[in-house]
Structure 1
């Protein structure tokens, strides 16, 4: 199992533990799952935050 997948599972488990029930809980679990996935990708070295937050003018 890859690091991003572990991050996704951990984020979803934390979201489920934090809020059980309703559509709001579904959205919270989905959002925490995405955050966990992105953290996993970052820790795995597949995501470069500098590219995400850099200005378009500097890339040209």
Structure 2
């Protein structure tokens, strides 16, 4: 697996972890909340990437 693929997979896993945590704590997940937390943690992500991960977790349509 290439370095880029591994980095992308790890970034998406971290986004999923944040989203699952918000879902447990608040009961709902907003894309912009996840983006804000991820950027605050130093991750470089976009709303489109977060929406893709949330859709895979069935937390966003």
Pick 1 or 2: higher relative contact order, CA cutoff 8 A, min separation 6.
1
Q: Same fold (TM over 0.5)?
A: no
Higher helix share: 1
TM-score, normalised via structure 2 length: 0.41
Larger radius of gyration: 1
